[in-house]
Structure 1
Amino acid sequence: MNTCRVFVPYGALGTGIAEESFDAGVRMKPDVIACDAGSTDSGPYYLGTGEGKYARDSVKEDLRRMVKAGHWLQAPVLVGSAGTCGTDGGVDGLADICREICKEEGIPAKLAKIYTQQNADMLEAKDREHKIFPLAGAPQTDGTVFEQCTNIVALAGAEPFQEALLRKADIVLCGRATDTAIIAAMPLLRGCHEGGAWHGAKLAECGALCTTNPSGGGVFLTFDELGFTIEPTSGDSCCTKYSVSAHMLYENADPFCLREPSGELDTKNAVYEELDERRVRVTGSVFKHKPYTVKLEGAALAGYQTVTIVGIQDRRVMKDPELWIGNLKQFVESKIRKYQIPETDYNVDFKLYGWSAVSGTKPPEGYVPRELGLVMTVTAKTQALATGVAKMYNPYLLHFPVNLKEQLPTFAFPYSPAETERGPVYEFKLLHAVEVENPLELFRIEMVVIS
């Protein structure tokens, strides 16, 4: 029977696990070590700038473990969504770290770099051919959206990883990829059950999140021609039918189906069986092939921001914070209008922490907070304008009453200066899919020998 053992040590490269949990996974002799290195969870900034989210030292430590273990096991190491957002710079940056590790550890390696960043002109041509369409909640494309984006990436499926493996790569560093493709690539290449390969990959994409101890370590999957078995590598953790099946809900609108570039995973008839207190066996998943499409992600500059934070304990404000905010904004905006600054050039947002900043819903009737933290964010076309507007608010954020006839209260700025310039901010512009002729069409693979 065709089998493939996959060790997923981290939910994301740079987040780390305990040494004993990693070593336990290595002792189970995986055929491949695979993990994700990025996400859109932290917003569009990382894609917009091409910068990574995690500390370089943390990423290097995690990757060093994987490279050393892969060399010892003679098992390939696969990493996807390099540098958080998967730009070409993210791939090259992770490759630089990999070279450092190999030199320091005396490990020769054949490295595959899979580039997933896209050219705006090429995508415009695809759009004119009506081969790009919006995903749920995204707008239709127009003639300018591609050139507006500072960076656009396409999410690789399993095939680019498989191509790199067929070229005998020891280490594969891919730009943006679906979390599942990184894990499913080798089992599919070895002829394991297709539905099981995609289903197991989905459950293990975030490492130990599918276990009873989400922060406890990695997970280990054994794929075969009928399904897969999943278990934790941490000694104080278990996989249960509940913990495993629940992960189909994670970042997924449908608890039974999952769309991938080559088709759709259907788990409606999946059977979860607890083999013992640590392991779960899954069978019955089905993968249905569909026309090949690749997801696109793009981010564009949205403006510049300046933030001011204020701490408030005034009892009069506490009685009705929204009234105070409304009066404050009306008063200051009337002064700003005298300078003839177009309202379309800036936006002021208030968030009252301790009132409704997180939920966005008004607290229950009668609720009076003891104190509030006000975060004012000004977004404008230029940094100078954002800071200028924030400065116009400054004196009133320090001394503004609920009623103008009352004595002025005093609030507190925790920092001096009160205004903190956040610099450029970005917004997602593309959450679309593109039809392609073949799975490798949008991706470029470069092989590098490290000796």
Structure 2
Amino acid sequence: MEKVRVLAPSGMLGAGWDHATVERGIAMGADVISIDGGSTDSGPYYLGAATAKTTAKAVARDLRSLFTAAAGAGIPVIVGSCGTSGTDAGVDWVAGIAAEVLAEEGLALKVAKIYSEQDAAALKEHLDAGRVHPLLPLGELDAETLESCTHIVGAMGHEPIVEALRGGAQVVLAGRATDTAVAAAYPLMMGMPAGPTWHAAKIVECGGQCTDNPRAGGVLATIDADGFTIEPLDPGAACTPILVAAHMLYETADPFEMREPDGTLDVRDAVYTAVDDRTVRVTGSRFHVADQYTIKLEGARISGYETMSFSAIRDPLVLAGIDEWAALMRTLITQRVHGTLGLAADEYAFDLRLYGHNAVLGELEPETGPPREVGVMLLVNAPDQPTATAVAKIANPLLLHLPTPAMDYLPSFAFPSSPAEVERGAAYEFVLNHVVDCAPPDLFRIEFEGKTRA
């Protein structure tokens, strides 16, 4: 093929879009539809619990749009990081929804599932062999950390997706994958050069975010031997050289380089040119193949159990000394928890956040003067749920009536719900930010209609 057109309808499966924009992309000659199904943006819970952040109905709506359009055009659909975190359960969850949609629409599309979840025992062998290396800010990995993870995934590159496509898959449902691999796989399989392909994949990873109206829909990237062109699917939206170039700043440590499993994208010499008032042409992107193929590991483990309380303050006298009030609150909670429950400070933790004052920026908050109203969120973390809730209940009278040191009466604050304590269950933390040296197919498993390829 002299060129490959990649249709990216949105930044995430389940986010929704106007189906007309997908139809327009098909009419523009799309050769493949790619979309990311997940992210680590929403924190470690979704990986730790192997639970999706999207609702099944939203995923079904979006898959219906993609499947009907792709089937009519005879082009493949690729979904990466299924179920938010790309666990095996996430892949199976999306596959179950996909099967229902295909049956309802009377479509017979061949589906491939790619599993990216990793076994801690197998990774320990890589660790013992010196094939696991840390990424900042984490340090060297130990076996105990691997064993503590409830789920571990490896972020696949394009190779397993290409294998699934070559095996005849018309729908590829991949586990955890780099955001770019989902869009790069088909063009690379069809012989497009790596530099323009990876760069185009990076720009389209978030759909219409590289346009002047991200809410209007996705984009179509056309990749050829010399570069790529990108334009919005909505005729009322536009891409500009600045908007396209700026996306290299998104979620990258370096604005000119981005590492993939098999090498590094280099855009230092990239040139961004406006073809017209809504289309941009990019040339000069390069890709440097790495000496060692690596896969990034992501893992999460339980960090404790959380209970949350929330109270609202409108009293102007309290708000005039809100920092002093908060300091007193922290002191009294610590004293009362020790006196009542006998817990030392290192046996639990709590966070007091003042929304409307400095909960977002903390000491960096530039605004001065008393706030008009403040929402006080108490978040308790303990080794078990009953302990977390007990700490929150000890804090309950303080969240309702605590005066400042200068006040000679008890003020009243407002709980938005009854009971005031909300048990959030297990909390998770990311503990893996490492890479493992391997060969492309080593860590992933592909299933074609019930048959598994290691």
Bin for the TM-score computed over the shorter chain: over 0.9
Displacement of 1:365: 7.2
Equivalent residue, structure 2, for 1:411: 413
Q: How does 1:151-300 map to 2 (within 5 A)?
A: 151-290=151-290, 291-300=292-301
Equivalent residue, structure 2, for 1:322: 323
Counterpart selection for 1:431 from 429, 433, 449: 433
Equivalent residue, structure 1, for 2:100: 100
User: 2:33·2:75 contact (CA, 8 Å) conserved in 1?
Assistant: yes
Matched to 1:108, the amino acid is: A
Measured against aligned partners, the alpha-carbon deviations of 1:354-390 in whole angstroms (never above 9, x if no partner) come to 1110112254575111111100000110100000000
Displacement of 1:215: 1.1
Measured against aligned partners, the alpha-carbon deviations of 1:377-422 in whole angstroms (never above 9, x if no partner) come to 0011010000000000111111111117621111111111111111
- Runs of 4+ in structure 1 off by over 4 angstroms are 362-366
SS at match of 2:429: strand
**In structure 1, how many angstroms separate the alpha carbons of the residues matched to 2:70 and 2:163?**
19
User: 2:350·2:380 contact (CA, 8 Å) conserved in 1?
Assistant: yes
**In structure 1, how many angstroms separate the alpha carbons of the residues matched to 2:450 and 2:70?**
16
Measured against aligned partners, the alpha-carbon deviations of 1:278-311 in whole angstroms (never above 9, x if no partner) come to 1111111000011100000000001111111010
**In structure 1, how many angstroms separate the alpha carbons of the residues matched to 2:245 and 2:45?**
32
Displacement of 1:136: 1.7
Q: 1:363 to 1:71 in 2, by over 3 A?
A: closer
Q: 1:142 to 1:449 in 2, by over 3 A?
A: closer
**In structure 2, how many angstroms separate the alpha carbons of the residues matched to 1:124 and 1:404?**
59
**In structure 1, how many angstroms separate the alpha carbons of the residues matched to 2:270 and 2:46?**
36
Q: 1:222 to 1:449 in 2, by over 3 A?
A: farther
Matched to 2:95, the amino acid is: A
Counterpart selection for 2:358 from 343, 349, 356: 356
Equivalent residue, structure 2, for 1:59: 59
Matched to 1:73, the amino acid is: A
1:311 and 2:312 are equivalent in the alignment: yes
Equivalent residue, structure 1, for 2:445: 444
Q: 1:293 to 1:364 in 2, by over 3 A?
A: closer
**In structure 1, how many angstroms separate the alpha carbons of the residues matched to 2:337 and 2:182?**
52
Equivalent residue, structure 2, for 1:28: 28
SS at match of 1:144: helix
Measured against aligned partners, the alpha-carbon deviations of 1:191-214 in whole angstroms (never above 9, x if no partner) come to 112100000000000000011111
Equivalent residue, structure 1, for 2:117: 117
Displacement of 1:344: 2.0
**In structure 2, how many angstroms separate the alpha carbons of the residues matched to 1:279 and 1:136?**
37
Q: 1:316 to 1:121 in 2, by over 3 A?
A: same
Matched to 2:357, the amino acid is: W
**In structure 2, how many angstroms separate the alpha carbons of the residues matched to 1:116 and 1:335?**
47
1:38 and 2:28 are equivalent in the alignment: no
Equivalent residue, structure 2, for 1:12: 12
User: 2:82·2:175 contact (CA, 8 Å) conserved in 1?
Assistant: yes
Q: What stretches of structure 1 of length at least 5 have no aligned partner?
A: none
What TM-score does the superposition give when structure 2 sets the normalisation length?
Answer: 0.97
SS at match of 1:253: coil
Equivalent residue, structure 1, for 2:337: 336
Measured against aligned partners, the alpha-carbon deviations of 1:147-168 in whole angstroms (never above 9, x if no partner) come to 1000000001010011011111
Q: What stretches of structure 2 of length at least 5 have no aligned partner?
A: none
User: 2:22·2:69 contact (CA, 8 Å) conserved in 1?
Assistant: no
**In structure 1, how many angstroms separate the alpha carbons of the residues matched to 2:275 and 2:346?**
61
User: 1:192·1:226 contact (CA, 8 Å) conserved in 2?
Assistant: no
**In structure 1, how many angstroms separate the alpha carbons of the residues matched to 2:104 and 2:368?**
63
Measured against aligned partners, the alpha-carbon deviations of 1:132-179 in whole angstroms (never above 9, x if no partner) come to 111121232112011100000000101001101111111100000001
Deviates more, 1:329-338 or 1:82-91: 329-338
User: 2:238·2:279 contact (CA, 8 Å) conserved in 1?
Assistant: yes
Between the two proteins, the alignment pairs up a number of residues equal to 449
User: 1:110·1:171 contact (CA, 8 Å) conserved in 2?
Assistant: yes
SS at match of 2:12: coil
SS at match of 2:78: strand
**In structure 1, how many angstroms separate the alpha carbons of the residues matched to 2:332 and 2:444?**
54
**In structure 1, how many angstroms separate the alpha carbons of the residues matched to 2:395 and 2:81?**
41
What TM-score does the superposition give when structure 1 sets the normalisation length?
Answer: 0.97
**In structure 2, how many angstroms separate the alpha carbons of the residues matched to 1:294 and 1:255?**
21
Displacement of 1:314: 1.7
Between the two proteins, what is the percent identity of the paired residues? 46
SS at match of 1:21: helix
User: 1:79·1:173 contact (CA, 8 Å) conserved in 2?
Assistant: yes
Matched to 2:247, the amino acid is: H
**In structure 2, how many angstroms separate the alpha carbons of the residues matched to 1:220 and 1:32?**
10
Q: 1:264 to 1:368 in 2, by over 3 A?
A: same
